[in-house]
Amino acid sequence: MQGAPFISLDCGTVPENFTSVVRTTRPELLLLIDAADMGLFPGEFRTIQKEHIKDVSIGTHNMPLSYLVDFLSDSCGKILFIGIQPGTIAGGESLSEEVRAGSESLIRIIDKRAFETIQPFVPVKQTST
């Protein structure tokens, strides 16, 4: 995969509209990057396992991202979902400086294909009282 070309798509809130590109190109690695409420500082990012997507999803998509991952799983070698903690979730807000800096850091990691350096998201276990 080292040196393999990237196809980058800004799918907005309707990534399901771009599934034909994935099914046609059948990438070795599909990166899905989205805002995720993980309880972190704005701009921090983590890899998120499919079973935890629903726990961090902000719900701005027409189709739950976990369904999208299921739908595309037979068209890719591997799917890696990366969540980045937003500063605010209100629509129409521009990126905060923290999120912009986190995004730039993530771009450098992607460019180097150093995905193993991204920490995994670990859900906080709820304790009952």
Domain boundaries, the chain: 16-117
- Please report the pLDDT score of residue 1 as a whole number: 46
- Please report the pLDDT score of residue 83 as a whole number: 94
Asked: is 16-117 a CATH 3.40.50.1450 domain? The reply is yes
Does 64 have pLDDT greater than 80? no
Phi, psi values for residue 81, rounded to 5°: -100, 125
> In 3D, which of 21, 19, 26, 20 has the Cα closest to residue 4?
26
> In 3D, which of 27, 25, 54, 76 has the Cα closest to residue 121?
54
Cα separation of 92 and 26, whole Å?
A: 33
100 to each of 1, 12, 44, 113, 114, how far by Cα in Å?
27, 17, 10, 20, 19
Mean pLDDT across the chain:
86
